Amino acid sequence: EGTWGTGVVDELATLLTAGRLSSESRAIVQAAYDDIGDPTEGLKLAQQLIATTPEFHSTNLVRANGLAREIPTPSTSGDQSYKAVVYLMFSGGCDSYNMLIPHTCTAE
């Protein structure tokens, strides 16, 4: 039995993933669309969910092999220094480059 969600998800899958959306992902997105009850909110949710799928982020076919991913061992190099990049996303302009200033710098 088809639902409105089937047509909406099929169209979104064609537009956003060139029709490569897997049946598992389709079922999840369709169930979420149907559970919302409101077509407008369901469409927004379906778009967001499809944007999180592997098919949306790649151009090749995604084939699940059913195997669990190997969990990497945690790094033991906690005493080594590191550098980080911090992004601040503001809605508007920011004319200052002095927002993040190191508290303490050591001369090397």
d(CA 27, CA 23): 6
Q: What is the pLDDT of residue 50?
A: 94
Q: What is the pLDDT of residue 46?
A: 95
d(CA 92, CA 2): 45
Domains of the chain by residue range: 4-57
d(CA 97, CA 105): 18
Q: What is the pLDDT of residue 1?
A: 42
Amino acid at 88: L
Of 17, 74, 76, the residue nearest 46 (C-alpha): 17
Contact partners, residue 73, CB within 8 Å, separation at least 6 = none
| pLDDT under 50: residue ranges of the chain | 1-2
